[in-house]
Amino acid sequence: MNENLHTLRCFGCGARIAGQEASPDFRCAQCGDLFEVEYAGWGQRQGHNRPNPGALKWLWRERRCSSEALDQSGVWRFRELLPILDNFGNAVSLLEGNTPLYKLKRAAKALGIDQLFAKHQGMNPTGSFKDTGMTAALSVARERGFEWVACASTGNTSAAMAAYAARAGLRSLVLIPEGKIAWGKLSQAMDYGAVTCQLKSDFDGCVRVLTQIVKESPIYLLNSVNPYRLEGQKTPAFEIAEAFDWTVPDHLIVPGGNLANSSALGKGFRELRELGLVARMPRISVIQAEGANPLARSFAENNGERMEPVEAHTRATAIRIGNPASWRKAARTIKETGGWCLDVSEAEIAIAKAELGTEGLGCEPASAVTLAGLKKLRAQGKVTPSETVVLLLTGHTLKDADYTINFHRGTLLGDDEVAGHQAEIAALQRNAVVVDATPSAVLAALKGLAG
């Protein structure tokens, strides 16, 4: 029904192929670059395939009250803008998306910004934004008859893939860097029945091994080089635009790892604009960790034209990636929207995460780079007080509870990292205290705090 609506267009050389013709590693046979999903007729104002903006806005809102499973998904609710399946009955859903948009009052006040929000993608079924992409790409795998799916991951992709594969009755293979992912994520892959291989390598090494495997076996690759992942991951852009009544915020700030998510959100806003649902795109900025910052370096050195891989080190393990696959797509989004790409230090990440905590919002360290980045942008005068800013929080705080506990115990950061931030950190630390099991001991502890 829908297959004829989409083609894959190479981001590098512009070659177009049918979805079924993609090679197992989703690289262009001509130039080796990545593909993007493209829909015929959307570009032309009178095209017969061009959806009607007013009708769509009404339909998507109506679906929020529907009892149909597909309508209750915050991804498939927007299915007119992701016609990637022959039959939507093949969609594998855990009722992902429809995540909350929270107002951040304390951080806004501290930064002197009127309107600051957090779109919390960690509130998805497996606790990260990956669910929105996984429901899309895994549904394609099921429709195309694959029995096995696989990914290399820093943890969240593998948790999402394992869950959706289990729902669909498919087998899943996970390659993760040994000792470098948070326990919460590893436990999820195990629980959802994935075959989990911990490789004595980093994320980039896991990608290299998996790329060989999928070329030799009938296993469907679910890393974000798979362009269908991005079709699901663009839908938070639709939710954000809808929440702002089809105006868009001035600025969206996104963490950067393998750099697919920033480009997916850019694609989402670009399509809304092309279809006449919104008038403009927000500025989209990408924030990396200082020790895993190849794109930030590239922007500083050559305005995002060339990127040198780095050996990645950061406690924000989700974004511990030195050779991001989708960097060209992300660079386009940043330049097209007038955004920036910056990096932030380990201490800045930890402080920002704890500050979000004081507003009742938990998130993964990788998500907290957004607030840390906003602080830098504000200090550099790149964000003005009247702008509406949205931070994209990508993962749930319980994914990496060790990180949080170590921060509050004072064992997370080294002395050199803490230097210059001691007072800020001390004011945020809330270590648990051990006291006798008597009311007076607890009350004494309270007095101690008050003092």
Question: What is the number of other CB atoms lying within 10 angstroms of the CB of residue 420?
Answer: 10
392 SS3 class: strand
Residues 382-401 that bind ligand F0G (CB under 6 A): 394-395
Say whether residue 226 binds ligand F0G (CB under 6 A).
no
Q: Residue 5 or 213: which CB sits closer to ligand F0G? A: 213
Adjacent-strand bridge partners of 253: 285, 391
Do the bridges between strand 251-255 and strand 219-221 make them parallel or antiparallel, or are there none, so unpaired?
A: unpaired
Residue 35 backbone phi and psi in degrees, to 5: -100, 160
Selected binder of ligand F0G within 51, 184, 257, 294 (CB under 6 A): 257
- DSSP secondary structure letter of residue 34: B
Residue 7 CB, nearest approach to ligand F0G (Å): 23
Segment near ligand F0G (CB under 6 A); pick from 70-78, 89-97, 251-259, 441-449: 251-259
Q: Which stretch binds ligand F0G (CB under 6 A): 6-14, 33-41, 110-118, 363-371?
A: 363-371
Reduce the secondary structure of 302-317 to three states and give it as a string.
Answer: HCCCCCCCCCCCCCCH
**How many whole angstroms separate alpha carbon 343 and alpha carbon 295?**
9
The answer to the question of residue 259 lying near ligand F0G (CB under 6 A) is yes
DSSP states along 113-158 = -SEEEEEEGGGSTTSBTHHHHHHHHHHHHHHTT-SEEEEE-SSHHH
How large is the greatest C-alpha to C-alpha distance in the chain, in angstroms? 76
Structural element, H or E, at residue 39: strand 35-39
CB of 34 to ligand F0G, least distance (A): 13
Contact assessment for residue 252 and residue 265, using Cβ atoms and an 8 Å cutoff: yes
Minimum separation from the CB atom of position 396 to ligand F0G (A): 9
Least Å distance, CB 83 to ligand F0G, is: 23
DSSP SS3 for 75: coil
Q: Residue 72 or residue 317: which is nearer to ligand F0G going by CB?
A: 317
Which residue from 51, 83, 255, 339 is in contact with ligand F0G, where contact means CB under 6 A?
A: 255
* The only residue of 232, 256, 294, 339 in contact with ligand F0G, by rule CB under 6 A: 256
User: Residues 409 to 448: which contact ligand F0G by CB under 6 A?
Assistant: none
> Between 221 and 275, whose beta carbon lies closer to ligand F0G?
221
277 half-sphere exposure, CB direction, 13 A CA radius:
29
Identify residues 103-162 at the interface with ligand F0G (CB under 6 A). Answer: 128, 130, 153-157
Does residue 224 interact with ligand F0G by CB under 6 A? yes
- Interface residues with ligand F0G (CB under 6 A) are 128, 130, 153-157, 224, 255-261, 318-319, 364, 366-367, 394-395
